[in-house]
């Protein structure tokens, strides 16, 4: 599972989304606490 702070995510959004598209899961950290997750959409 990938973790990224808000500032880092803003700077590297395209790279992080490519990682998620390859099957990863990204947890977004704000002020030291997990706030949300980005996962690939289930494409049925």
Residue 24 domain boundaries: 2-39
How far CA 15 is from CA of 19, 21, 44, in Å, comes to: 7, 10, 25
Question: CA-CA-CA-CA torsion for 44, 40, 19, 2, nearest 10 degrees?
Answer: -140
Q: In this structure, is residue 25 part of a structural domain?
A: yes
> Mean pLDDT in each 10-residue stretch from start to end of the chain (44 residues)?
91 92 92 94 73
Q: Are residues 30 and 5 in contact, defined by beta-carbon separation less than 8 angstroms?
A: yes
* 20 domain-assigned: yes
In total, how many domains does the chain have?
A: 1
Residue 9 lies in a domain: yes
Does residue 44 lie in a domain region?
no
Give this prediction's pTM: 0.77
């Amino acid at each position: 599972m990938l973790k990224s702070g808000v500032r880092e995510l803003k700077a590297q959004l395209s790279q992080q989304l490519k990682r998620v598209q390859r099957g990863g899961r990204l947890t977004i950290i704000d002020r030291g606490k997990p706030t949300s997750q980005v996962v690939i959409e289930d494409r049925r």
